[in-house]
């Protein structure tokens, strides 16, 4: 699996392969909790388990469901980065966001490094236990304009709140060569062979060139902040409620996975959110205006930032699609999970490109403007 570390090279030992029994033993030995049920959760290159624990006198007040996260070997080499992610999650939770709390180890730490002999040598993995958040991924429900607006607003609130986050190891979030940082779209050139000779490859090559010419030259004009960096349709959970009139509405009940966090820009966060909200939508091009309106209700973008939005969304599509294609070559056994975005992503990217920046911006900005007049399109 392609590492989520700063060096975007494949790592033979990156993804952990713990069995249910091994994972259960970890929870009991490292965190001192008795497991009653455990099952794997899907993941990109870490390993996650949904853990139910048996309630005891000691744990009666705490949660009974957790997520055991076992970081891949590369991420496990940067414990300071994972420490900051843990503290961000707890900081946001204290500020009222639906993020996970972190359960300490028996020694009072937030993580533990465990060494395992997998037959081809000893590998070390950082493990942590997070509270299990309720809800269904946004990917599983039809997204209404109102929900898209709320998700955009959430993204803006998140970045705004993180302005006041401080930690002695905050500099670890300056991940200059991190393949998933949106400014690193040009790094995709190394992986283009995974696309063969195709129309898809031609589009990616064009996006990379436009990105170099029109985004990298403007970075100094964007306002910097800390980004979540991966507000995708599987990392946002929602719960439904039914009104007296029988209408179903959704509220965000969980924000998952801070593994792609880093220093970026406000406009990066909204672009990434727009791209992922487009993936499952039946009217993908119209998504952007609703998300943008929500984001700008908290942090209005400058004209330069707005002008970069189209290419930034295209750039994120390219990152997701190229890295998935490359990773599939390395790990065909994980193809179903890796290709979730690709099923519709290439079609959406091509459609955006065929429409062109001016036409797409017109739809986005017109929709966003309609919120000012109180009539959402």
| pLDDT, tens digit (0-9, with 9 covering 90-100), for 341-372 | 677 889 999 999 999 999 999 999 999 999 98
Q: Where in the chain is the domain with CATH 3.90.1200.10?
A: 136-373
**b/e sequence 312-340, b meaning 16+ C-beta within 10 Å:** bbbbbbbbbbbbbbbbbeebeebeeebeb
CATH top class, domain 136-373? alpha beta
Cβ atoms within 10 A of the Cβ of 306, count?
A: 18
Query: Measured between alpha carbons, how far is 375 from 266 in angstroms, rounded to an integer?
Result: 26
* Average pLDDT estimate for 284-292: 96
- How confident is the model at residue 59, as a pLDDT? 52
16 or 224, which is more confident: 224
> Could you tell me which of 347, 326, 328 has the C-alpha nearest to residue 336?
328
> Could you tell me which of 48, 111, 108, 125 has the C-alpha nearest to residue 83?
111
CA 114 to each of CA 6, 16, 70, 83: distance values in angstroms, whole numbers, following the listed order:
22, 11, 9, 16
Query: Measured between alpha carbons, how far is 366 from 377 in angstroms, rounded to an integer?
Result: 9
Cβ atoms within 10 A of the Cβ of 33, count?
A: 25
Give the pair of three-digit tokens for residue 365: 């900005």
Q: Where in the chain is the domain with CATH 3.30.200.20?
A: 20-131
CATH number of the 20-131 domain: 3.30.200.20
Q: Strand pairing partners for 2?
A: 10
Specify whether 159 is catalytic.
no
Q: pTM of the predicted model, to two decimals?
A: 0.89
Residue 235 reports pLDDT greater than 60: yes
* Average pLDDT estimate for 298-318: 97
Lowest mean pLDDT among 16-30, 190-204, 318-332: 318-332
Rounded to the nearest 5°, which phi and psi values hold at 85? -60, -45
- Mean model confidence pLDDT for the chain: 88
Give the pair of three-digit tokens for residue 60: 């009666």
Query: Measured between alpha carbons, how far is 276 from 231 in angstroms, rounded to an integer?
Result: 7
Catalytic site residue from 230, 233, 257, 260: 230
Length of the chain: 377
Q: Strand pairing partners for 265?
A: 224
108's torsion region: left (phi>0), alpha (psi -120 to 50) or beta? left
């Amino acid at each position: 699996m392609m590492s989520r570390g700063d060096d975007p090279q494949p790592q033979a030992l990156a993804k952990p392969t713990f069995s249910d029994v091994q994972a259960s033993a970890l929870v009991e030995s490292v965190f001192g909790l008795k497991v009653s049920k455990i099952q794997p959760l899907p993941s990109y290159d870490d390993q996650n388990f949904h853990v139910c624990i048996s309630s005891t006198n000691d744990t009666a007040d705490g949660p009974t469901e957790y997520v055991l996260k076992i970081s891949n070997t590369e991420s496990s080499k940067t414990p300071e980065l994972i420490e900051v992610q843990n503290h961000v999650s707890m900081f946001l939770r204290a500020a009222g966001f639906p993020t996970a709390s972190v359960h300490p180890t028996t020694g009072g730490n937030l993580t533990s490094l465990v060494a395992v002999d997998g037959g081809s040598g000893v590998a070390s993995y950082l493990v942590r236990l997070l509270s299990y958040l309720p809800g269904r991924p946004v990917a599983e429900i039809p997204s209404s304009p109102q929900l898209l607006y709320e998700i955009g607003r959430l993204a803006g609130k998140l970045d705004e709140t993180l302005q006041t986050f401080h930690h002695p190891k905050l500099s670890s979030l300056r991940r200059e060569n991190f393949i998933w940082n949106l400014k690193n779209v040009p790094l995709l050139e190394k992986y283009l062979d995974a696309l063969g000779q195709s129309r898809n490859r031609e589009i990616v090559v064009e996006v990379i060139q436009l990105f170099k010419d029109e985004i990298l030259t403007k970075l100094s004009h964007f306002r910097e902040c800390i980004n979540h960096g991966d507000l995708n349709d599987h990392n946002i959970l929602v719960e439904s409620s039914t009104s007296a009139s029988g209408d179903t509405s959704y509220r965000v009940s969980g924000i998952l996975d801070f593994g792609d966090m880093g220093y970026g820009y406000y406009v990066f966060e909204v672009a990434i959110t727009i791209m992922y909200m487009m993936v499952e939508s039946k009217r993908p091009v119209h998504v952007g205006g609703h998300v943008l309106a929500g984001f700008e209700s908290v942090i209005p973008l400058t004209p330069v930032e707005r002008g970069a939005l189209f290419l930034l969304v295209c750039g994120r599509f390219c990152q997701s699609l190229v890295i998935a294609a490359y990773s599939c070559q390395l790990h065909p056994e994980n193809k179903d999970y890796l290709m979730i975005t690709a099923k519709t992503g290439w079609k959406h990217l091509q459609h955006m490109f065929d429409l062109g920046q001016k036409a797409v911006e017109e739809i986005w900005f017109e929709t966003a403007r309609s919120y000012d007049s109180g009539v959402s399109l």
